[in-house]
Structure 1
């Protein structure tokens, strides 16, 4: 076993559980109910932001009880690091959303740089409205746009380095079945 993998395992062993699987699943169901109420008649195109939004989107989409088109996009600022840099597009949307409502599903609203750039991209490319759903809204004063709020939020979270349910620690633990905070971060 490499020293890096030992460190990754130690991070999980020492992590604080902020939200259990049951709490997260209940929050996802509540988000689905709100989306069903607001978007059921709007024929939305739904984009999952890879890789972080994958688990949240997978669990959320099965609870949306209306016709929709679903695709993905991949934009990141982290690239397996613990702090963000420039926006990097790995895959832009391939489904047309001109004159359509768009729902962007992502794991977390932290500072909001990535999500804001994706929203701007969709608006400039012809979306009639852009909605956002995030599993976690991190509570701090460093938002890229102080007025920016996600349309649908699962859970608030303290300002710590978190992982699980799609969020990673150095590329690992996206598969953790809760939301965990790294000890000391």
Structure 2
């Protein structure tokens, strides 16, 4: 199938030329495992649960339910900060939405689909600390395996590892498509 000039590459073609790295069952098991550790660490508190949009939404929703099953209450808010804006490489951090919930003296759990090199996350963590958060932790469904991470930025709670390839699905996009695929794919 030919695509119109300026239109995104075909998601169907991407899926056909990708490997399933983690299927839905594996991801759901990882989320349940993460929930156990998070519920233990936050027992007795109500953290500010900040979903990082757009990619973090599917994972954040599932993790929130798993935490609720374990008796942990959450105060929900979200943020949208990006360096990609539909591109495959990052630039300057752009804030599209900052949380309305005051963070002063609060424990904050940042929830995102993937932790790659960590440049975006480093900016988000720094902003939360500037707002007076007493504790900032990161829950990432996937962590990309490579040696290019921002020093000091790592997931406190990680679901699965993914290879150093273009990954998409389960919140991660392929040219703004496929975030709702129920598995993580990696282009060949």
Give the structure-1-normalised TM-score. Answer: 0.94
- Asked if residue 163 in structure 1 is aligned to residue 161 in structure 2, the reply is no
2:177 equivalent among 172, 178, 181 = 172
Give the structure-2-normalised TM-score. Answer: 0.93
> Partner of 1:149 in structure 2?
154
Deviations 1:96-140 (A, max 9, x none): 121010000001110001111111000011000001100001010
Q: Name the CA distance, whole Å, in 2 between partners of 1:99 and 1:178.
A: 37
- 1:5 positional shift: 5.9
- 1:40 positional shift: 2.1
Q: Name the CA distance, whole Å, in 2 between partners of 1:14 and 1:159.
A: 16
Matches within 5 A, 1:94-109: 94-109=100-115
Matches within 5 A, 1:1-185: 3=3, 4=7, 7-64=10-67, 65-145=71-151, 147-183=152-188
- Asked if the contact 2:54/2:80 (under 8 Å) is kept, the reply is yes
Show structure 1 runs of 5+ residues with no match.
Answer: none
Moved over 4 A (4+): none
Please give the secondary structure, in 1, of the residue aligned with 2:111.
strand
Q: Name the CA distance, whole Å, in 2 between partners of 1:40 and 1:138.
A: 29
Deviations 1:46-67 (A, max 9, x none): 1000001000000000111222
- Asked if the contact 2:166/2:187 (under 8 Å) is kept, the reply is yes
Superposed CA RMSD in Å reads: 1.3
Please give the secondary structure, in 1, of the residue aligned with 2:66.
coil
Q: Name the CA distance, whole Å, in 2 between partners of 1:56 and 1:36.
A: 16
Deviations 1:149-171 (A, max 9, x none): 21100011110110011000110
Show structure 2 runs of 5+ residues with no match.
Answer: none
